[in-house]
Amino acid sequence: MPVLAGAEPFHHEGGEVAVLLCHGFTGSPQSLRPWAEHLAEHGLTVSLPLLPGHGTRWEDLRITGWQDWYAEVDRALRLLCERRETVFVAGLSMGGALALRLAAKHGDAVRGVMVVNPANKVHGLAAHALPVVRHLVPATKGIASDIAKPDGRELGYDRVPLHAAHSLRQFFQATDRELPQVTQPVLLMRSPQDHVVPPADSARILSRISSTDVKEVILEQSYHVATLDHDADRIHEESLAFIGRIASALGKEPGLGKEGTTAGG
């Protein structure tokens, strides 16, 4: 199936500091594109892959599982690490969980983690019944476009295939067990009004990771897809400041923007 217009992966070859961005479940790179482009404009190398089964039609997601989604971001991270010494991972929703698992698995190869409304559990969907229900019902209603901004729109599926939701639940359980292995600096940005992922998920993540350098930012004006919402600029600013601080401590230049300013400026 051809990729939907706007859902294409994004890559920018920039400076020595790189960022891997991971999109969410049933979503696409479109939800993180402004963030990716902002980082690229400030001179960073950026990779934003399209996860298998996403960005086409929901039926394609039905025949994929969490191992496929994780393998894609793991591959993208390894490619970045081959070319760049200072690499950060970031993500929205399920993409946040993907980023956290990458940090847990890759250790010092990942210098820092930035997550927006990270997910830790499947809510609703009669989650505990998924192992059985997925064989009886192909899909349920979609979760895309939870955005406060009136003209905000996320390019995501209008249906959630239950086979994939079951796999997602397994992924969250596996990742939760691995959270204590996350020791890198973490920037967690969350929306108090989120109709997809409740605040309890962020609280659980913060209670489980072993990181000592942790900053939590509250996105008061946004819903779940905050990267396309009123607080998008705040996300851009906070992430650039976070990257700049960590990279500078490592003796690395975060990158030069179009105007010749550093990434934090």
224 is catalytic: yes
State the catalytic residue, choosing from 176, 194, 201, 231. 194
Residue 167 designated active-site: no
CA distance 41 to 22: 19
Contact 49, 29 (CB under 8 A): yes
Q: Is 242 known as a binding-site position?
A: no
Which residues, 6+ apart, have CB-to-CB distance to 89 below 8 Å? Answer: 19, 20, 22, 73, 77, 99, 102, 103, 110, 112, 113, 114
What is the rounded CA–CA span in Å between residue 189 and residue 220?
A: 10
Active-site position among 28, 31, 47, 93:
93
1 is in an annotated binding site: no
Any catalytic annotation for residue 93?
Answer: yes
Q: Which of 31, 224, 231, 236 is catalytic?
A: 224
Q: Are 7 and 50 in contact (CB under 8 A)?
A: yes
Rounded Cα distance, 120 and 137, in Å: 24
Asked if 205 contacts 120 with a C-beta cutoff of 8 angstroms, the reply is yes
Instruction: Report yes or no: 137 and 81 within 8 Å, Cβ to Cβ.
Output: no
Q: Binding site residues for substrate, as ranges?
A: 25, 94
Q: Which residues are catalytic?
A: 93, 194, 224
